């Protein structure tokens, strides 16, 4: 299977804080990876490094076997690592058409992706009228406009009500079923169990487990992690 991203012995220090410790991960095409850990375990920092918005301290990572130039990243990697941000007084459709213009994507993709995230009926509503869940879904549609190889999501269900959480999880599963590789950072055990095939469990920057989701709960020490941190919302 083709390797999308290969991370080897990544480290990040913020002064005295060792936030990411020797993290290694091999991301293969078509799988859904969870990056699971309590708040402060180094998930966002790891994503920031591989997306080139945080400088690494040491270690390495390779995209598609090499270095990823910006124009290539725009095409191949879709990422939502911040709160969704669009023009508030433009409609959902207008916002996505603008993204198409920037990325050089045909406008026909706008309808396809709005349908995928269940926002086609709301295409003429202004972004400012959207709930957080709808904003998040629009961000997913936007990230998928040019059919990237991989979609990276950092805690996409944070702050959503149960219905919003279910909608996002269903959409992620649908995207995965279409063959898009996914990397999902989450502090919610059940989210990773429901959505992911593979998982890397982080605690205080350290990898506690890496492998199939099925094998996670039999790992020694997992129970403590679960009761300490992961079930706390």
Give contact residues for ligand ADP (rule: CB under 6 A).
Answer: 14, 17, 19, 37, 39-45
- Which of 44, 46, 146, 210 touches Mg ion (CB under 5 A)? 44
Report in angstroms how near the CB of residue 121 gets to Mg ion at its nearest: 32
Query: Which residue stretch of 1-9, 38-46, 123-131, 165-173 sits at the interface with Mg ion (rule: CB under 5 A)?
Result: 38-46
* Contact yes or no for 182/153 (Cβ under 8 A): yes
* Contact yes or no for 22/11 (Cβ under 8 A): yes
Residue 186 engages Mg ion in binding (rule: CB under 5 A):
no
The three-point CA angle 87-46-158 to 5° equals 50
Report in angstroms how near the CB of residue 185 gets to ligand ADP at its nearest: 6
Q: What DSSP state is assigned to residue 161?
A: -
Residues 6 or more apart whose CB falls under 8 angstroms from that of 158 comprise: none
CA 111 to chain centre: 22
Instruction: Return d(Cα 157, Cα 226) in angstroms, integer.
Output: 19
Query: Which residue stretch of 23-31, 36-44, 92-100, 157-165 sits at the interface with Mg ion (rule: CB under 5 A)?
Result: 36-44
Report in angstroms how near the CB of residue 181 gets to Mg ion at its nearest: 20
- Please list every residue from 125 through 154 that binds Mg ion, using CB under 5 A: none
Burial of 177: CB neighbours in 10 Å, binned 0-12, 13-18, 19+: exposed
Residue 210 engages Mg ion in binding (rule: CB under 5 A):
no
The tokens for 167 are: 């909608």
Q: Which is closer to ligand ADP, CB of 20 or CB of 92?
A: 20
Q: Which is closer to ligand ADP, CB of 39 or CB of 85?
A: 39
Which residue ranges make up the site for Mg ion (CB under 5 A)?
43-44
């Amino acid at each position: 299977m083709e390797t999308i991203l290969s991370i080897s012995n990544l480290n990040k220090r913020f002064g005295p804080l060792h936030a990411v410790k020797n993290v290694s991960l091999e991301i293969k095409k078509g799988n859904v990876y969870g990056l699971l850990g309590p708040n402060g375990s180094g998930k966002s920092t790891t994503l920031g490094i591989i997306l080139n918005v945080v400088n690494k301290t040491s270690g390495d990572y390779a995209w598609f076997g090499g270095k990823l130039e910006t124009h290539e990243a725009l095409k191949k990697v879709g990422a939502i690592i911040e709160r969704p941000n669009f023009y508030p007084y433009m409609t959902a459709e207008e916002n996505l058409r603008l993204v198409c213009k920037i990325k050089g994507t045909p406008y026909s993709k706008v309808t396809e992706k709005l349908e995928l995230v269940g926002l086609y009926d709301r295409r003429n509503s202004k972004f400012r009228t959207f709930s957080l869940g709808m904003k998040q879904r629009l961000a997913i549609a936007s990230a998928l406009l040019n059919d990237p190889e991989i979609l990276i999501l950092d805690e996409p269900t944070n702050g959503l009500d149960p219905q919003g959480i279910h909608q996002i999880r269903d959409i992620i599963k649908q995207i995965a079923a279409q063959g898009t590789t996914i990397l999902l950072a989450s502090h919610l055990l059940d989210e990773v169990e429901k959505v992911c095939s593979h998982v890397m469990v982080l605690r205080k920057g350290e990898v506690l487990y890496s492998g199939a989701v099925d094998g996670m709960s039999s790992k020694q020490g997992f129970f403590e992690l679960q009761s300490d941190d992961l079930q706390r919302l």
